[in-house]
Chains A and B, each alone.
Chain A
Amino acid sequence: MNLKSALLGAVCAFAMAPAAYAERGTDGEVKLTFPQAVSIMNPYLSSGTKDIYASSMVIEPLAGYDDTGALVAKLVSEIPSVANGGISEDLTSITWKLLPGLLWADGSPVTAADVVFTGQYCMDPAGGCAQLSKFDGIKSIEAVDDMSVKITFNGPKPNPFTAFVGSTSPILQKAQFEACLGAAAPTCTDQNSMPLGTGPFKVTGFTVNDTVSMEANANYRDPAKPAFASAVIKGGGDAEGSARAVMSTGEFDYAWNTQIPPDSQAAMAAEGKGVFVVAFGTLVERLEMNMTDPSADLPEGERSTAKHPHPFLSDINVRKALSMAIDRQTLTEVGYGAGGAPTCNIVPAPALYASDNTGCLTQDIEGAKALLEAAGWVDTNGDGIREKDGKNLSILYQSTVNPIRQDFQALIKDWWTEIGVETELKAIDPSVFFGGDAGSPDTFQKFYADVEMYANNFDGTDPEAYLTQYKCDKAPSPENQWQGENMNRFCDPAYDAMVTELSSTRDAAKRAELAKKLNDMVTKDSFVVVPLVHRGTLSAHSNALGGVKINAWDSELWNVADWFRVK
């Protein structure tokens, strides 16, 4: 980057400005509605996806993912790779080169110092940064010069696109956030609600958990964009209300997360004012089978721990039969319609990592019954429930309060009753279920039930961290205050060994192969995880809004700069 090109760039920008300015801000206001209101515009302190999406309109990362899952440069001139020298040969460092002439919304230039500062901000031990895991394994972040940043890792990192990639890791302005390091981070209310960014919009007003008002960023790098002069995000209500505001009354242009029943979707779409859009990421609704005994007769501290294997779910035939009895196609139709697809994989996408695993997609009630009979689970006393060695096949099946999940529970209960398994249903408030409060018996980590159902996914396009969750030592237990990710307490040394192998494998094809094998080990080889539906993200936008490309790999609002009013 030298002075001549910089000047040239500046002259061009000035020359084009008057002509291009006519296009920016000509389409009025774009109105978005979220069923959950935005609490904070800083994804590093955020408490949910809504905040990340809202802030992606204002602050941007160096690179992001487009709707196909491919990396796309945002603030850099090109994506670094080994070929162009951006990534070192031994995969221990990556260098990003910022776009020349990039400005913050207040007119000051974006420099490498801002990037380095952002790293400092999140890695500060007292900061409580929510995206800390994106900065895992980093030894140092340094500014090679004003426009280049070099990140050095502790060891070879096959996937170095973690820090500053994706809307969960945007760049903050050093000058604005300077006083907000560490413990001071939460006290910087003005900065957290009105961050200065490089994105197409700039925050003009913010009421907590209610409305975000924005106007077009006069210093945005593309002078012809955004087409809208202002934007507003109104939060609150429910999915129905949001969908209605776009599809029926036309008050809003875009509604995020409109998870409503398929019939309602069809009826609203028929009104002709808008469309629903779906994008499939990695979200899979699944059943986790508890490999340990959750019985209330066991003392506290031994319940649902490796000390007591599950009386009947330890038998793979039982788990397989339970999976065979389920008709995933019906579940998808009833619950998600076009917004879901039946699946047998916990890693359903990207296509590179999706295992060829379709054996569970056909329901086989008779086969399930036969399997149980052959394994010795028979109904000797005519009560409709199978037993063996005095143990009844009696399942406590828990999930969160959610109409679709309750429908699933009702259907699955019917199927399991047909094959001779007694099922009791339980629905828990989501804030308790996902809360992780060590004192509550209803968290999904404690798993004081036999089967639990919820949905999980992973960030970005690499499933390594996700598959690592099923290692033996990741099981929640009293020793780690029930903070673990291996909910079903699956423990297989072969699995652990393969995960370790994956973490040191660099070759992309070999990584894909290992990932597929790991996926199979927990699904079709052992049935400890019974995937049900590959869920897409469902949103709605009005026909008067153009340029929307829904994206499951990054923020849904990733290309809001390209949106325009359809005339």
Chain B
Amino acid sequence: MLTFTLRRLLLAIPTLLVISLIIFLLVDLAPGSPMSEIPLTVPPEVRLKMIAALGADQPVYVRYILWLRQFFWVEPANMLDGWFGTNFVGGEQRILSWQSRSPVFTVIGQRIPQTLTVIGTAYLVGIAIAMPIGIYSAYRQYSVFDQLGTLVAMIGFSVPTFFSGTLFIIIFAVWLHWFPTKYDTTLAVTDWASFILQIKQMAMPVMVLALANAAAISRYMRSSMLENMGQDYVRTARAKGMTERVVVLKHVLRNSLIPVVTVIALGIPSIFGGAIITENLFGVNGIGAALIGAISANDLPMVQTLAFIFAVLIVVFNLIADIAYGLLDPRIRYE
């Protein structure tokens, strides 16, 4: 297991480099230019000058190498400078977004709290809902609870988030006036009243996302539980006189968790990039919204950096999922 982990980690480095190159080339090849949002009143000669000032007219390999240097040397050194007051990279240019001319990592830093708060909470809520539903549905297969639970999960999964999100806005915000329609990112939670306000403005996006997440996880949970409920050891445990609760929750659940844990682990990177539509709809300024905004504005440094960070997260969580799988399931052997 240890050699496996080490080998994977070592392999991860060239993998990530290749991924970063492919993403860079892909985004560069994609049609569109950072000048598309500029009003048409700006004449072409000025646009060309603006592109030159951004450094966007340099050949691809020059820009790629510059980006590599900035990402792996300038940015981490900059962070160290900030924490320890050193001066490794005092005047060096950081990765700048073409849209806002702000450093990309500043933007990421501004957005991570919202992403973790809203999207992260939705993911946790989704898991918390999905597991009991999946377990009980499998335990009482084809019962009313199973049918209902399945129905709710299916509905939560079948409805596109922009549909359910808009529907929620109309029902809860416009008709009932329970929740605000736009997320206030400047809200600082300092006392009970502001805490309630924060809950109120998080309620709708969390509901929309949790429904969608819960559906998929509960299906996997149920499917996995069903496979294990029919196993011999369950019959044996019951014959030995163990209570249903112990049988289901201690024996079956543990074995069924294996594929579910891997699915959950694999879903974590999607917290950062997957809730694009919801973030847009509710005005939650998260990382997903940043990525989609950067793509439509052809903001290459931002897209490249964010996409690369996702790639790192995906590779890391894939590794975590694999290790967890190997640790939890003794039948798996990694050489």
Contact = CB atoms under 8 A, between A and B. Distances in A.
A207 B39 contact: no
A141 B93 CA distance: 31
Contacts of B35: 434-436
B267 interface: no
Interface in A392-444: 429-437, 439-440, 442-443
Contacts of B51: 128
B322 interface: no
A47 B46 contact: no
A432 B182 contact: no
B202 to A, nearest CB: 16
A431 B186 contact: no
Interface stretch (B1-9, B102-110, B214-222): B102-110
B100 A484 contact: no
A126 B47 CA distance: 13
Interface string B159-189: 0000000000100011001001110111000
A363 to B, nearest CB: 28
Most chain A CB neighbours (cut-off 10 Å) among B38, B169, B181: B181
A186 to B, nearest CB: 4
Contacts, number: 176
Interface in B40-59: 40-54
B285 A40 contact: no
Contact of A245 (B32, B93, B181, B297): B181
A189 interface: yes
B32 A186 contact: no
A249 B174 contact: yes
Given A236-B289, A483-B44, A251 B180 contact: yes
Interface stretch (A93-101, A208-216, A540-548): A208-216
Contacts of A127: 53
B269 interface: no
Contacts of B33: 431, 435-437
B42 A130 contact: yes
A419 B31 CA distance: 36
B106 A436 contact: no
Given A249-B173, A435-B33, A128 B182 contact: no
Interface in B220-279: none
Contact of B285 (A47, A210, A434): A210
B39 A49 contact: yes
B46 A429 contact: no
Contact of A435 (B36, B93, B103, B174): B36
A209 B37 contact: no
6 contacts: A48-B39, A187-B101, A207-B110, A210-B285, A237-B283, A430-B36
Given A129-B46, A437-B33, A439-B29, 17 more contacts: A127-B53, A128-B51, A128-B53, A133-B46, A205-B186, A209-B99, A234-B283, A236-B182, A236-B285, A237-B282, A241-B281, A248-B174, A251-B182, A252-B182, A432-B31, A434-B35, A435-B33
